[in-house]
Amino acid sequence: MMEVNRINWSTADEETKKRILTRASMDISDQIPVVSEICANVSARGDQAVLEYTKQFDGVNLTAIEMRVTPEEYALGKAQVDPEVAAALRYAAKNIRAFHEAQKPQPMWMMEVDDGILAGEKVTPITDVALYVPRGKGSFPSVLLMLGTPAVVAGVERIVVLTPPNPEGKVDPAILFVADLLGITEMYKVGGAQAVAAAAYGTETIPKCAKILGPGNPYVTAAKRLLMGVIDPGIPAGPSEAIIVADGLATPYKVALDLLIEAEHGPDSASLLVTDSESLADAVLHDLEQLIATIKNPMRRAYVLEVLRRYGGIIVTKSVSDSIAFVNEYAPEHLEVMIQDPFSYLQSIVNAGEILLGEHTPITLCNFLLGPNAILPTGRHARTVSSVSLHDFLKRSSIGYVTEKALQRMAPYAVAMADVEGFETHGDAIRKRFINKSS
Ligand SMILES: NC(=O)c1ccc[n+]([C@@H]2O[C@H](COP(=O)([O-])OP(=O)(O)OC[C@H]3O[C@@H](n4cnc5c(N)ncnc54)[C@H](O)[C@@H]3O)[C@@H](O)[C@H]2O)c1
Ligand SMILES: N[C@H](CO)Cc1c[nH]c[nH+]1
Ligand SMILES: [Zn+2]
């Protein structure tokens, strides 16, 4: 008999509630000491330190030159991609591109806020960005599609891909295929905390970047948190997590199938069914047991079992509105709504990285090829943070222009505000302008 959390939310004790709501991604205290040392070493010894850590953690002995993926490796890797996979990646790339093109803001806008006073904004791409594509418990060409597409559409000048090498010192051919599809030519075989540190400080081989984006394990997360004063760490994207919110009319088999999607990422992931129906919970449990027995990969089966007894499982609520309240408190990365008339709940769901409606929109689709970005905030950050988007690769500069006549009108107000805040030279820049002019 497998062990699955089944928690009645209205009567659950505080400790259980805290474990479920907190999940794994917030606690990186175990990784901080080792990651601090990695960051300090990479800052002091550059390539040499990166290569030592690559040997220690990825089991590969590379030279500095071998870290950069060569055009020959691109060509060889691309040729190894199965035609069916290539077609799928092309299809995904098309949808993801279309979605992110639609996010394009106006390059510049201006308005007259008052007579003779113009104000607006100008949008500029970030010049250099590192994209972290994980490769520990899986291979993630889709992550490169999700990161690379908005970077390319935004017009980022220098796009640098960092991804751990496999034990043979190679990059996954599908990653090379996607990079080529996107026209990204700069890639380094480096992973974990040492990759984040290398992008933050720069080494002899790996360029210093202004920002790093991409999900990763607790070592990657810890490095981003420690180096946030040196490099912009982008959105917090840690262990994957999902909620399937369902009522008594949902199909148990489909709920069970979808509950297993994100549970296979790793033992620290979370996957929850939230339902007001005890009978749905019973039926899903039954189907889960049968489905888990059919998972072929023993590592993935072990992850799923661990997730369901640790941070995942089934939450039983008293009503659909209590289920929605739980969702909003939890703020999941991925959310599936398997309630009758799912569109009618869209307004009341306020905290979720992604909201997938109905029984025919499993998380798998949005992970890979629906179009929206699958790199989403985890660990309750969906309360304030959005998915990766075009806007992560752009920044806005405010623009202002004032005529002489308008300045005269604004002057007394500006001086009054400078004086009340006690800023003398702020006020003088207005006052003395007029004195000088008349003398
Ligand atoms: N939120 C999202 O959008 C999203 C998307 C995809 C994946 N993910 C998550 O990203 C994570 C990917 O993690 P991963 O492990 O598969 O790949 P990863 O690339 O993040 O980690 C692998 C690297 O970790 C380092 N490492 C491993 N053991 C170490 C140790 N003991 N000490 C120091 N460094 C060590 C190694 O350098 C290795 O290169 C998963 O948790 C997955 O759920 C999230
Ligand atoms: N579920 C991940 C985001 O949490 C995305 C992904 C890529 N591949 C498989 N899954
Ligand atoms: Zn996934």
Indicate if ligand 2 lies below 6 Å from the C-beta of 367: yes
What spacing in Å lies between the alpha carbon of 367 and ligand 2's midpoint?
5
- Closest protein CA for atom 14 of ligand 1: 136
> How far, in Å, CA of 187 to CA of 16, rounded?
43
Contact 215, 143 (CB under 8 A): yes
Predicted pLDDT at 58: 96
Residue having the nearest C-alpha atom to atom 5 of ligand 2: 367
- Give the global pTM: 0.95
Which of ligand 1's atoms lies nearest the C-alpha of 137?
16
Pocket of ligand 1 (CB under 6 A): 34, 57-58, 134-138, 140, 143, 164, 191-193, 215-217, 219-220, 237, 239-240, 265-266, 269, 333, 374-376, 378
- Rounded distance between C-alpha atoms, residue 157 and residue 431, angstroms: 43
pLDDT value for 24: 76
Contacts of 418 (CB under 8 A, 6+ apart): 424, 426, 427, 430
Could you tell which of 36, 52, 57, 144 is best to mutate to test the pocket of ligand 1, judged by most ligand atoms within 8 Å of the CB?
57
Closest CA to 231 of 105, 373, 132: 132
Ligand 2 and 232: CB distance under 6 A: no
Residue 401 CA to ligand 3 center (angstroms) comes to 48
Judged by its nearest atom, the ligand closest to the C-alpha of residue 25 is: 1
Active site members: 333-334
Q: Please give the Cα distance from 246 to 335 (Å, whole number).
A: 11
* Ligand 2 pocket, mutate which of 140, 268, 300 (most atoms under 8 A from CB): 140
Q: Which ligand sits closest to the CA of 241? A: 2
ipTM value: 0.97
C-alpha to C-alpha distance for 232 and 219, rounded to whole angstroms:
17
Burial of 169 (0-12, 13-18, 19+ CB in 10 A): middle
What 3-state DSSP class applies to 306?
A: helix
**pLDDT for position 439:** 44
Amino acid, single-letter form, for residue 343: F
**What is the SS3 string spanning 175-211?**
HHHHHHHHCCCEEEECCHHHHHHHHHHCCCCCCCCCE
What are the tokens at 297? 């990969």
Does 48 show up as a binding residue in the annotation? no
Are 224 and 317 contacting, i.e. CB atoms less than 8 angstroms apart? no
Task: Name which residue sits closest to atom 20 of ligand 1, judged by CA.
Answer: 216
- The DSSP H or E segment spanning 86 is helix 83-101
**Would you say 217 is a known binding-site residue?**
yes
What are the residue ranges in the chain where pLDDT is below 50?
438-439
CA 271 to ligand 3 centroid distance, Å: 11
Atom of ligand 2 nearest to the CA of 242: 4
Amino acid at 306: E
Report the nearest atom of ligand 1 relative to the CA of 388: 3
One-letter identity of residue 185: T
In short, whether 378's Cβ falls inside 6 Å of ligand 2 is: no
CA-derived radius of gyration, the chain: 25
Angle at CA of residue 370, ends 365 and 373, nearest 5°: 100
> What pLDDT sits at residue 165?
96
Report CA(220)–ligand 1 centroid distance (Å): 7
Identify the residue whose C-alpha is closest to ligand 1 atom 10. 216
Please tell me the number of the ligand nearest to residue 172's CA: 1
